[in-house]
């Protein structure tokens, strides 16, 4: 993932409520950026207020530019299709004779204290997720109140985690919210991309630790590769990113995008946020498993990471079926299928459905208030 930045500074400016939002942009626009790409609340002698409002009403337009500039490997959808078909076949085989009564019994017998812990961990996870956007704001040079960053991050990540395709879902929602508070389209795009880089950097860093230490067995997936090889493969991009940001001062130009190196203090924070994100998310599932299950937390963490990445690669909304199938295959030696399915259903209800519901209501309230304020101003 790359991030468009250019030299040159510009002051940012207003916020929908009249508060001042100061930002220093050091961005390099791509040379062929079309005029239809929204640019937030930047003032310009060439743009009328009515045109600015028109651009804001189309929060998905900026994605077109990203899709043209970012390398879209044709192998990605093919790999996703292969993963989906393979996991779907396993799911049909494993769930063919699934006793639904046992699944219902497991869900009914879940201790309320564990459900409460899972809810608390889910709230903690969204607090960690807001750190991605907070750090990205520091990288871009935008000063925005944390409460607004947290609100936008909660809605954006609730949508992207439950629905998938984070560039479109979470990115589009965050564009709508951040642009209403004075951020430019380029700054929002850089925020989304920097957050994505942070997530994958943490995935690689954690993967190198888990697979080099080999607490995760891949026998259930029947892959023709040793965990240590995967660990070294994860270590390379992690070490490369750290080395690049440490040794290079000039911007890195890739396919027309100019990527400025982050400050040195940001790199360990990027890794720490992503690792904490995965730790807390996996903990939600861990507390929903039976108390007597002979599964180490590190093993579950590795399994969770594999399932999560497979779900992302598959491009299936929310990794539905793929995420669940990987968990069933890799936890099958320790637990019955009905128990695994029950735990995964509880996980999805707490970690995906509940936040998505709250985020949808919050976003609806935000839009209702925005429209009401707009009508009041015109009156």
The answer to whether 335 touches 299, Cβ cutoff 8 Å, is no
Q: How confident is the model at residue 4 (pLDDT cuts 50, 70, 90)?
A: very low
pLDDT digits (tens, 9 = 90+) for 224-277: 678 788 888 889 999 999 988 888 778 777 777 777 788 889 999 999 999 999
pLDDT beyond 60 at 100: yes
pLDDT beyond 50 at 8: no
**Average pLDDT, rounded, for the chain:** 77
Q: What is the pLDDT of residue 134?
A: 96
Q: How confident is the model at residue 186 (pLDDT cuts 50, 70, 90)?
A: confident
Q: What is the pLDDT of residue 60?
A: 47
At a CB cut-off of 8 Å and minimum separation 6, what does 226 contact?
218
Q: What is the pLDDT of residue 323?
A: 87
Say which residue, 37 or 157, is predicted with more confidence.
157
Q: What is the pLDDT of residue 82?
A: 57
pLDDT digits (tens, 9 = 90+) for 314-362: 777 777 778 888 898 889 888 888 899 999 999 999 999 999 999 999 9
Q: How confident is the model at residue 42 (pLDDT cuts 50, 70, 90)?
A: very low
Can you tell me the distance from the alpha carbon of 141 to that of 164, in angstroms, rounded to the nearest whole number? 28
At a CB cut-off of 8 Å and minimum separation 6, what does 181 contact?
15, 16, 21, 41, 144, 148
Other C-beta atoms lying within 10 Å of the C-beta of residue 329: 20
Q: How confident is the model at residue 166 (pLDDT cuts 50, 70, 90)?
A: confident
pLDDT beyond 50 at 364: yes
């Amino acid at each position: 993932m790359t991030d468009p930045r250019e030299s040159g500074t510009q002051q940012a400016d207003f916020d929908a409520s009249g508060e001042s939002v100061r930002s220093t942009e050091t961005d390099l626009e791509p040379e062929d950026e079309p005029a239809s790409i929204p640019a937030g609340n930047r003032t310009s002698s060439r743009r009328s207020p009515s045109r600015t409002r028109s651009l804001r009403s189309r929060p998905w337009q900026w994605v077109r530019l990203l899709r043209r500039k970012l390398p879209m490997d044709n192998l990605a959808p093919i790999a996703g299709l292969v993963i989906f078909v393979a996991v779907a076949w396993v799911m049909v085989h494993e769930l063919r004779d699934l006793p639904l009564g046992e699944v219902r019994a497991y869900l009914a017998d879940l201790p309320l204290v564990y459900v409460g812990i899972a809810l608390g961990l889910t709230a903690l996870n969204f607090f960690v997720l807001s750190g991605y956007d907070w750090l990205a704001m520091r990288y871009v040079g935008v000063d925005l109140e944390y409460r607004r960053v947290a609100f936008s991050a909660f809605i954006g990540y609730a949508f992207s985690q439950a629905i998938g395709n984070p560039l479109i879902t979470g990115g589009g929602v965050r564009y709508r919210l951040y642009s209403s508070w004075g951020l430019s389209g380029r700054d929002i795009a850089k925020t989304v991309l920097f957050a994505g880089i942070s997530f994958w950097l943490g995935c690689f860093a954690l993967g190198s630790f888990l697979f080099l230490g080999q607490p995760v067995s891949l026998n259930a997936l029947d892959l023709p590769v040793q965990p240590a090889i995967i660990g070294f493969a994860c270590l390379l991009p992690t070490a490369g990113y750290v080395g690049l940001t440490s040794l290079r001062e000039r911007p890195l130009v890739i396919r027309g995008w100019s990527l400025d190196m982050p400050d040195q203090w940001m790199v360990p924070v990027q890794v720490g946020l992503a690792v904490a994100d995965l730790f807390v998310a996996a903990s939600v599932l861990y507390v929903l498993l039976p108390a007597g299950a002979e599964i180490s937390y590190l093993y579950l963490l590795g399994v969770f990471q594999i399932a999560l990445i497979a779900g992302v690669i598959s491009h299936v909304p929310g990794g539905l079926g793929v995420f669940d199938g990987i968990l069933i295959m890799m936890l099958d030696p320790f637990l019955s299928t009905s128990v695994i399915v029950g735990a995964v259903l509880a996980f999805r209800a707490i970690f995906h459905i509940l936040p998505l519901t709250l985020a949808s209501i919050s976003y609806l309230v935000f839009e209702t208030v925005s429209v009401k304020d707009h009508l009041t101003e015109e009156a």
